[in-house]
């Protein structure tokens, strides 16, 4: 086997131009695949980190309250008692926060816009600080009543800055409208689509706006120690909450603000809880991650097909050029199986050298682009939920890319290798060419 490996290396070395051309193509495919996987992982990681901090937990227990059968509000009443029960039912819990939910028309002196309101208690929101980059003002000021956090896109649309006052007008649970004047305490960098939809204010101010009691909130966000436990925790809560005398809505994998039409059609009043996970709540943005994943798979299949054709053609040429050599080896006693192994080893060595080089280049490119802090246009920020392009390199994904491309390259060499082994010694030795 060592002798065959040495022969394979010698053959690759004796045809440097062909080896460099095909090896470079394999390296290019591997590099492109590593970069695409890094980009896909980066978008997915950014989406999860940003969305699970700004608008959802890993698992959410939210609620809808209906004063009349046709009108609902995103409210969980008497949430401290529910919070205690969840602490007992979810040992996988890392921490829990409560968030108010609401809708409002936000009005400045020059413009207005419709927004989804998020109520927060900034002092207990350690993860919230990590997910945002504050451009103006301070997040700590959100501890004061009647304050507001906007994103740059919203501040530009409303033509406001830190210290300016805007008016929030919102329908209450009783069907009337209420208004509150709030001061812009901080302006944060855009985070994609969420920048045009959500803004944040203290829970106490949101309760005043919605005319709710102090023991009411919009949702309890549960952050688990391991995200893999999400399906088990969600299923357990769906079973346990009815046993704890809570009415629970049927599963509906959509964001809460897209459920009002279906909830309002249901003939019930009072409160019902809704148990969702982070994927349900951000389903309106995860399509970009799925689209990129499918694009990566499609490009991989296309590029592997091109490389496979190239490898087969190269081996056909090599076999034709070395027909007399094959005949000589067979005449000296080399078995057909070893002839086949010799060509397979040549393809394997070429594929390994190409994929390892390509993976190294891909890793270097990902690290270089991360270090460059590339700022993307607003249209792209909507997809990646971040101002900057981010690449996350998973060692297992890189190893998988190397393995897939190497195996495919080696497997497509089976046919020409088998035909080379089938050559008769006499015919091969008399071959002219």
pLDDT in tens, 40-75: 888 777 777 777 777 888 999 998 988 888 888 888
Query: Which residue is listed with tokens 């019902």?
Result: 272
Statement: residue 14 has pLDDT above 70: no
Q: Quote the CA–CA distance of 328 and 322 in Å, as a whole number.
A: 10
> What pLDDT is attached to residue 432?
47
Residue 380, classed as helix, strand or coil, is: helix
> What pLDDT is attached to residue 327?
62
> What pLDDT is attached to residue 28?
86
Cβ within 8 Å of residue 178, ≥6 positions away = 169, 170, 171, 172, 209, 210, 211
Least confident of 200-204, 252-256, 259-263, 320-324: 320-324
Statement: residue 433 has pLDDT above 90: no
Q: How far is CA 205 from the centre of its chain?
A: 33
Check if the beta carbon of residue 8 is closer than 8 Å to that of residue 345: yes
For 246, other C-beta atoms within 10 Å of its C-beta total: 18
Residue with the bigger pLDDT between 229 and 407: it is 229
The pLDDT > 90 percentage for the chain reads 30
Q: Quote the CA–CA distance of 173 and 193 in Å, as a whole number.
A: 28
Statement: residue 87 has pLDDT above 90: yes
User: What average pLDDT does the chain have?
Assistant: 82
387: confidence class by pLDDT, cuts 50, 70, 90: low
pLDDT tens, position by position, 220-240: 999 999 989 999 999 999 999
- Give me the numbers of helices (H) and strands (E) for the chain, helices first please: 17, 11
Q: Quote the CA–CA distance of 111 and 204 in Å, as a whole number.
A: 26
The predicted model gives 331-344 an average pLDDT of 70
Check if the beta carbon of residue 278 is closer than 8 Å to that of residue 52: yes
pLDDT tens, position by position, 136-170: 999 899 999 999 999 988 999 999 999 999 999 98
The predicted model gives 89-93 an average pLDDT of 93
The predicted model gives 274-285 an average pLDDT of 83
């Amino acid at each position: 086997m060592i002798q065959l490996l040495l022969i394979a290396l010698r053959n690759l070395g004796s045809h440097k131009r062909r080896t460099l051309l095909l090896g470079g193509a394999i390296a290019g495919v591997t590099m492109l695949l590593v970069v695409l996987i890094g980009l896909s992982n980066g978008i997915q990681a950014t989406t999860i980190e940003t969305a699970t901090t700004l608008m959802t937990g890993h698992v959410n227990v939210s609620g809808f309250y209906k004063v009349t059968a046709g009108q609902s509000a995103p409210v969980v009443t008497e949430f401290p008692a529910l919070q205690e029960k969840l602490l007992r039912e979810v040992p996988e819990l890392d921490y829990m926060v409560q968030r108010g939910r609401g809708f409002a028309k936000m009005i400045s002196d020059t413009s207005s816009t419709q927004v989804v309101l998020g109520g927060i208690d900034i002092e207990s929101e350690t993860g919230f600080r990590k997910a945002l980059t504050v451009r103006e003002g301070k997040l700590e000021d959100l501890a004061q009543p009647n304050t507001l956090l906007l994103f740059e896109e919203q501040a530009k649309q409303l033509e406001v800055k830190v210290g300016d006052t805007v008016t929030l007008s919102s329908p209450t649970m009783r069907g009337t409208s209420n208004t509150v004047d709030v001061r812009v305490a901080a302006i944060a960098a855009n985070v994609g689509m969420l920048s045009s939809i959500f803004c944040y204010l203290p829970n106490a101010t949101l309760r005043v706006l919605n005319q709710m009691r102090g023991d009411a909130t919009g949702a309890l966000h549960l952050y688990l120690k391991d995200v893999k436990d999400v399906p088990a925790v969600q299923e357990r809560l769906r079973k346990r909450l009815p046993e704890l005398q809570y009415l629970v809505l049927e599963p509906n994998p959509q964001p809460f603000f897209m459920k009002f039409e279906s909830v309002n059609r249901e003939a019930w009043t009072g409160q019902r809880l809704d148990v969702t996970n982070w994927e349900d709540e951000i389903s309106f943005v995860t399509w970009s991650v799925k689209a990129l994943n499918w694009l990566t798979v499609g490009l991989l299949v296309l590029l592997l097909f091109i490389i496979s054709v190239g490898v087969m053609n190269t081996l056909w040429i090599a076999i034709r050029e070395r027909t007399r050599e094959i005949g000589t080896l067979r005449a000296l006693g080399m078995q057909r199986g070893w002839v086949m192994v010799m060509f397979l080893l040549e393809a394997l060595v070429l594929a390994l050298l190409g994929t390892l080089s390509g993976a190294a280049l891909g890793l270097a490119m990902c690290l270089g682009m991360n270090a460059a802090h590339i700022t993307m246009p607003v249209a792209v920020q909507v997809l990646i939920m971040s101002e900057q392009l981010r690449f996350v390199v998973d060692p297992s994904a890189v190893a998988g890319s190397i393995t897939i491309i190497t195996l495919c390259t080696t497997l497509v060499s089976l046919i020409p290798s088998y035909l080379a082994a089938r050559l008769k010694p006499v015919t091969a030795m008399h071959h002219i060419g």
